[in-house]
Amino acid sequence: MANLVSNSTYVIDLTSSTSTCSALPQLPISNYGGFAALDGSGAPIVCGGLTTLGALSSVCYALVSGAWTNYFNLTTGR
């Protein structure tokens, strides 16, 4: 299973059948295998994953005012 590492993210409006993916700002890092969620304020966050060097990351970023900013880091790289 080949992995193409990218730092691109997109948002999709599931309530519209005609919507297309809208590109978000590129992430500051190119980790892969991490996860994404919405925090309590509704902000998209991305966390963890493997770095291009193969190390587990504990770093999280939140999308605030159209830019990825540092967020609470995980307690554990995952």
Partner 1 sequence: MGTSSQSTINSATESVLAVGGYTKNAETLSATGWSLVTPGTLPVTVNGHCSAVVNATATIMIGGYQNNLVSGNSYILSNSSGTWTAGPKLITKRVYHTCAKIITNKTANVYGVIVVGGNTGKISIASVEVLKKGATAFVLGKALPVGMFYSSLFEDPSGGVILLNGVTDTGLTFCISQ
Number of residues in contact with partner 1 under rule CB under 8 A: 29
The reply on whether position 20 binds partner 1 by CB under 8 A is no
Among 11, 22, 37, 70, binds partner 1 (CB under 8 A): 37
Q: Is 48 in the site for partner 1 (CB under 8 A)?
A: yes
Q: Judged by CB under 8 A, does residue 39 bind partner 1?
A: yes
Residue 63 and residue 78: Cα distance in Å, rounded?
20
CA 64 to mean position of chain CA atoms: 12
Residues near partner 1 (CB under 8 A): 1-3, 12, 14-15, 32-40, 45, 47-50, 56, 60, 72-78
